[in-house]
Structure 1
Amino acid sequence: MSVLSKIVPMPLHSFILLLVWLMLNNTYSLGHILLGAVLGIVIPLLCAPLRMPQTSIKKPLKLIVYVLIVLKDIITANIEVAFLVMGPMQRIKPGFIAVPLDLCDTLPTTVLASTVTMTPGTVSGEVSSDNKWLYVHVLNMPENEQEVIDLIKQRYESRIKEIFGC
């Protein structure tokens, strides 16, 4: 590890902090540049011990496809939920399900839980302490709960596993 990387462990973050400092103060005077540079070095140094290594994205092009699929699902689910809540209330059958997880790390699990929550009609409730189950609330539970589990695993989890190389 070089001396420079010990002083500036996260150079991009340091540069962004400097830019944000200058934009917040709406000045580019030497004093603010120096203060912003000091903050850009000190803050990442203080935060460096808190960083946790994360799984990296192995297939970024698959991530683009995934985002497009999720956007399409959000639009479709919005329409479905709108018709559901505008209709008779007895048609709504909420429920919880436990989705078994086959993901390798916390970041892919977080991406899956966030995706489920972003899609109208479903909300991630909790991830089990052993990271083996994702508890999901479904606004309109079908007769066969396995349909929802299969949809989440095939449509989202399998793609996340591919993206992160799990």
Structure 2
Amino acid sequence: MSSKLSLYKRVIPSPSLSVTVLVFWLLMSDSFTVGQFVLGMLLGLVVPLFAARLDREFARIGSLRPLPKLICVTLWDILVSNIRVALQVLGPERRIHPGFIWLPLDIANIHGIAALTSMITLTPGTVSAALSDDRRYLLVHVLHLDDPDELVRQIKQRYEAPLMEIFP
């Protein structure tokens, strides 16, 4: 019985991932045919085998208390940034001063870093460009960079600090 279970785990390491791959394949294909279903099942068997070999870091969730405020702050920043970027793009080109900054990271959780990079990129006028190999610095491109230190302070206060509570 144990050897059958072991064989099953080697062939299908993550049944939920296999089903997810199959479902997404069928949703993304333009027609539902036996061939598409068989191809989706094959992908559902092969993809988890490769995914099981990756060095995964599982998300540790801390307090979700800062999440509602973080969502509101992010949505507000997206709204304000859309207006600011529109005014900059429609205004004189000489008033735009793009630049890069290296943002020092205090957050170490890779899931928190991923959330931070997504929030930065979702906010118009800023794009996360690179993460250093040691995960201690994030390169951010800014459409208009007046005060790099102030931008770092805002990102750390508005996004990174709450994310550090959520992803300890």
* Matching residue of 1:12: 16
Contact 2:57 2:110 in 1 (8 A): no
State the TM-score, normalizing by the size of structure 2.
0.77
In structure 2, do the counterparts of structure 1 residues 36 and 150 end up closer, same or farther at CA, with 3 Å as the change threshold? Answer: closer
**Letter aligned with residue 106 of structure 1:** I
Number of residues paired by the alignment? Answer: 162
- How far off its partner does 1:111 sit? 2.0
- How far off its partner does 1:109 sit? 1.7
Percent same amino acid at aligned positions? 40
Of residues 28, 49, 54 in structure 1, which corresponds to 2:53?
49
- Equivalent-residue separation in structure 1 for 2:94 and 2:49 (angstroms): 56
* Matching residue of 1:84: 88
- Equivalent-residue separation in structure 2 for 1:79 and 1:141 (angstroms): 16
**Letter aligned with residue 15 of structure 1:** V
- How far off its partner does 1:136 sit? 1.7
State the TM-score, normalizing by the size of structure 1.
0.78
User: Mind listing any 5+ residue stretches in structure 1 that lack a counterpart?
Assistant: none
SS of equivalent to 1:135: strand
- 1:140 equivalent to 2:147? Answer no
- How far off its partner does 1:155 sit? 0.4
SS of equivalent to 1:125: strand
In structure 2, do the counterparts of structure 1 residues 83 and 44 end up closer, same or farther at CA, with 3 Å as the change threshold? Answer: same
* CA displacement 1:48-70 (0-9 Å, x = unmatched): 11252233333456445433432
Of residues 110, 113, 116 in structure 1, which corresponds to 2:114?
110
- How far off its partner does 1:160 sit? 1.2
SS of equivalent to 2:158: helix
- 1:151 equivalent to 2:154? Answer yes
**Letter aligned with residue 16 of structure 2:** L
* CA displacement 1:33-55 (0-9 Å, x = unmatched): 67754543343124311252233
Which stretch shows the higher mean deviation, 78-87 or 43-52? 43-52
SS of equivalent to 1:9: coil
- Equivalent-residue separation in structure 1 for 2:127 and 2:44 (angstroms): 37
Which stretch shows the higher mean deviation, 73-82 or 48-57? 48-57
* Matching residue of 2:32: 26
